[in-house]
């Protein structure tokens, strides 16, 4: 049962990540999935560190809103 729930949650998360606007998605993937620093992400995307942090925060808010219905009982 836990394995099935983990798979379902992973699918929901993957779908929510795909719905992120591109500018937020690329920052989220580099920071949260690839584990890059804000500095590394900024260099790759030619963004300032505050811009990287802002986009990451917005991506997390978006994902939280998308996944909230599945996380509350």
- The predicted model scores a pTM of 0.84
Q: At which residue do the structure tokens 């500095």 appear? A: 39
CA 38 to chain centre: 14
Q: pLDDT by residue (tens digit) across 3-61? A: 767 788 889 999 999 999 999 999 999 999 999 999 999 999 999 999 999 999 999 99
- At 65, which helix (H) or strand (E)? helix 49-71
User: 10 Å Cβ neighbour count for 54?
Assistant: 14
DSSP classification of residue 21? -
Q: pLDDT by residue (tens digit) across 56-67? A: 999 999 999 998
């Amino acid at each position: 049962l836990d394995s099935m729930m983990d798979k379902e949650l992973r699918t929901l998360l993957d779908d929510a990540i795909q719905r992120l606007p591109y500018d937020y998605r690329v920052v989220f993937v580099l920071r949260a999935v690839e584990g890059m620093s804000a500095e590394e992400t900024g260099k790759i995307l030619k963004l300032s560190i505050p811009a990287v942090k802002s986009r990451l925060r917005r991506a997390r808010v978006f994902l939280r809103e998308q996944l909230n219905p599945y996380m509350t009982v």
